Chains A and B, each alone.
Chain A
Amino acid sequence: MTGARMTLRDGLLPAFPALALVIFFLIPFGIMLTVSFFHRVPEAFYEPAFEFANYARFFSPFFGKILVFSMFVSACAAVLAVVIGFPFTYFLSQMPRRQQIPLIVFLLAVLSLSEVIIGFAWSTLLSRTAGVSNLLVWVGLMERPEAFTPSFTALLLGLCYLGFPYTVLVMYPSLSRLDPELPEAARMLGASPMRSFFTVIVPCLRNTIVGTLILVFVFTLGAYLLPQVLGRPQHWTLSVHITDQAIFQSNLPFAAAMAIFFLLVSLALVGLTLLVGKDTETAA
């Protein structure tokens, strides 16, 4: 009796996450995969079919460029966010605990801002009429107010802002667990604080840094409002085009095909990064 109950419980425990995964991820993905092979009916919706037309359409210089640009802008945002976020988090973790908590709470508050609010806030801040350029004019650094948006820089800035709290939250646990005697040991051996930072702290946290890069990269790939709010049409990422196809063009099969392809390419990139990381680790 108890034996039977044990097996039931033993079977149910792993079944729960498996079931959740199937219901919430595998089935929707299956539907999307199926739809990506469907035939689009112009002026209507779509009809079941099995054709590669949607994928074929994707392999054009136009969408190829968009794909490359999307990857590029997200990679830039990830690198920038980590380059700023890593020293930030390091100094944060060195502060007295009492001072750390309000800063972390503040960062969590930033997380609660949606992409929409972040996008429009930056577009106002970078605008000609109400933006920071007015401040620069007042200080005397600029001659007349200027709009910094829409532009590539504005988009990158927005994406960095979106990803930054995540870099801090992901790196904080590892950085606060770092043995404080490690940088001290480096200093006793003659390394200046700067040198100890780059030769000890950064290499010790290499895995955390790579992990954070991947996270912010993947996270910003999905941003579809910021490119429209802060960028010009040529800065629209694949996410924007997927939204455009799915919602405004009513071309769900093509949107699904793009999404699938995007997913595969991102997965491949992440896998490649991990593989490269593993190689250097065993080689070192």
Chain B
Amino acid sequence: MAGLRLEGLTKRFGEIAAVDHVDLDLPPQKLVCLLGPSGCGKTTLLRLIAGLETATEGRILLDGADLTGVSAHDRDFGMVFQSLALFPHLTVGENIAYALKIRGVDKATRDRRVAELLDLVQLPGVGERRISQLSGGQRQRVAIARALAIDPKLFLLDEPLSALDAKLREKMQVELRLLQQRLAVTTIVVTHDQREAMTMADIVVVMNEGRVLQAGPPLEIYRNPADTFVADFIGISNLIPCEIVEAGTVEVAGHRLALADMPSGLAEERGAATLSVRPEDLHVLPVAQGQADGLRGTVAFIRDLGASVEISLDCAGQELVAVTTPKERPAVSVGDTAGIEIPGDRAVVLRG
């Protein structure tokens, strides 16, 4: 089980490199999310893997076998398209059986498999219906069933849930993840929604401008973003200008802060850098409780959402956000000066 391997994969459209020297190793039976803003090349990367685009440079290897020169229709992958692309002239059952029919599977087996798949996506008994008679969520499930009909070697999904409303989307994310784990099929999902990626993925690949910025388990990326773009894109982060004064110590607004560890690439560097702190790691305290010489800020706004409390602070011209629970809400109000604590083990120093 070697999984999917991309070697120096590049796709240029004229002068523009939509995918720029991507090297990736994706393990089998896992769910991988390609995450990035629109235009970052994630969809092009998926289409290269699918065989719908031809790479300008580089190779794609599946279980060690080179896929260059294998047509999309010979790859035996399943794909769910952004528009779903269900065939309007066929019934639900005929849509699902399309791939089987092409492979010469007999009618009885096809019918059995369609029923099986409709059960799998929790839509039993709709095989005779027309696509136009289904709701958005049902179409989504049919598209998934159709892509899974042949037990694909790779299951590819291009923004599969973008057409659904927010509530249904959250529900489908969980269902899709559970389905993927049950079938243990190697899956690649393209999404621009970091929440979706965090919900479903074993591995998140963050992309921007055709390049892979970071690939790893979602929490690892959340805790240790590789750069300011990743820190900003995955969740909310306070990006605070700081200065590296010595290995393991930075200075923020004139206050020294000892960090638990330093990214290896920055150990030798000195000077301007950025400190990334997640809002839930930033502690706000009434001045009386804080250290006498600690970091100070003015409370600019408090957003009490019931389940959580967001405190916006102004710290020497820098806007900071802290999130806490109603229980742990500090006794501060708008306009107060408050103490700010940044735990050294939760802050990440980044270049730039």
Q: Mark A171-202, 1 if CB is under 8 A from B, else 0.
A: 00000000101101111111111011001100
**Chain B residue nearest in CB terms to A193:** B73
**A283 CB to nearest chain B CB (Å):** 12
Task: Kindly identify which residue among B50, B52, B73 contacts A190, using a CB–CB cutoff of 8 Å.
Answer: B73
Least CB distance from B331 to A in Å reads: 56
**Judging by beta carbons under 8 Å apart, are A182 and B85 in contact?**
yes
Within 8 Å of chain B (Cβ to Cβ): is A57? Answer: no
- For A189, what are the chain B residues with a Cβ–Cβ distance below 8 Å? 73, 98-99, 102, 146-147, 149-150
Please tell me which one of the listed residues A186, A188, A203, A204 contacts residue B77 in the complex, with CB atoms under 8 A apart: A188
Instruction: Provide the residues of chain B in CB contact with A200, threshold 8 Å.
Output: 87
By a CB distance below 8 angstroms, the chain A residues around B74 are 190
Assess whether A9 is interfacial by the CB under 8 Å rule. Answer: no
Chain A interface, >50% SS class: helix
Is A191 a contact partner of B73 (Cβ separation < 8 A)? yes
Among candidates B78, B86, B89, residue contacting A188 with C-beta atoms closer than 8 Å: B78
**Does chain A have a CB within 8 A of B230?**
no
Give A254-284 interface residues, CB cut-off 8 Å to B: 284
Give the residues in chain A near B102, CB-CB below 8 Å.
189-191, 195
C-alpha gap A206/B87 in the complex (Å)? 13
A191 contacts across to B, CB distance below 8 A:
73, 98, 102
Bound CA span A190–B151, Å: 13
Q: Is the CB of B99 within 8 A of A190?
A: yes
Q: Does B88 contact A (CB under 8 A)?
A: yes
B87 touches A190 (CB 8 A): no
A-B contact count (CB 8 A): 65
Q: Is the CB of B83 within 8 A of A188?
A: no
Interchain CB contact under 8 A, B73 and A181: no
- How close is B143's CB to chain A, nearest CB, in angstroms? 9
CB of B233 within 8 Å of the partner chain: no
Closest to B74 in A: A190
Does A181 contact B85, Cβ atoms closer than 8 Å? yes
Chain B's closest residue to A189 (CB) is B99
- Cα A182 to Cα B79 with chains together (Å): 12
Rounded to whole Å, the gap between the CB of B215 and the closest CB of chain A is 25
B150 adjacent to A185 (CB under 8 Å): no
CA distance A242 to B50 in the complex (A): 60
Interface size on A, residues (CB 8 A): 21
Query: Given the complex of chains A and B, what is the CA–CA distance between A195 and B71 in angstroms?
Result: 14
- Known contacts A189-B98, A189-B102; decide if A179 and B73 are in contact (CB<8 Å): no
The answer to whether residues A188 and B79 also contact, given A182-B85, A200-B87, A204-B89 and a CB cut-off of 8 A, is yes
* Cα distance A189–B78 in the bound complex, in angstroms: 7
Measured in the bound complex, the distance between the Cα atoms of B344 and A236 in whole Å is 96
A181 and B146 form a contact (CB under 8 A): no
From A205, which residue of chain B is reached at the shortest CB distance? Answer: B89
State A206–B85 Cα separation when bound (angstroms): 17
CA distance A196 to B72 in the complex (A): 12
Q: Are B150 and A179 in contact (CB under 8 A)?
A: no
CB atoms of A190 and B81 under 8 A apart: no
Asked if A206 and B89 sit within 8 Å, CB to CB, the answer is: yes
Residues of B within 8 A of A206 (CB): 89
Provide 28 A-B residue pairs closer than 8 Å at the C-beta atoms, listed in order of the A residue.
A179-B83, A181-B82, A182-B87, A184-B81, A185-B81, A185-B85, A185-B87, A186-B98, A187-B52, A187-B73, A188-B50, A188-B72, A188-B79, A189-B98, A189-B102, A189-B146, A189-B150, A190-B74, A190-B99, A190-B102, A190-B103, A191-B98, A191-B102, A192-B73, A195-B102, A196-B73, A200-B87, A204-B87
Q: Which 9 A-B pairs rank lowest in CB-CB distance, beginning with the nearest?
A: A185-B85, A189-B99, A181-B85, A188-B79, A181-B81, A203-B89, A190-B102, A187-B72, A187-B73
